Amino acid sequence: MPSIGTAAKEYFDRLGLKKLPSIAALKQEYATLSAEKGRLYKDYHPKRKFMREVLTAQENARLMLSPQPTQRGFNRGDTVR
């Protein structure tokens, strides 16, 4: 099993990076990605709520349209031994 350092070197070699990015560049990229995530989440939340409503309606329809199982046991006066 390769060490973490070896695995990191192999990863950066596959990306073709010769020099690691600076901390300032990483912070700038993080800020950009964080802002994009916030913008996209505003679209995601209402769509997720709608999806849950559709799935609930689908399950309700399935339950109403499926044949009801016959009831057995105590409801018919049977006794348990």
Per-residue model confidence as pLDDT tens digits over 17-44:
878 878 898 899 999 999 999 999 999 9
Alpha helices (runs of H) in 1-81, residue ranges in sequence order: 4-15, 23-65
pLDDT at 3: 85
pLDDT at 67: 81
pLDDT at 31: 96
Per-residue model confidence as pLDDT tens digits over 37-80:
999 999 999 999 999 999 999 999 999 998 876 655 555 555 55
Backbone φ and ψ of 66, nearest 5°: -80, 150
pLDDT at 53: 97
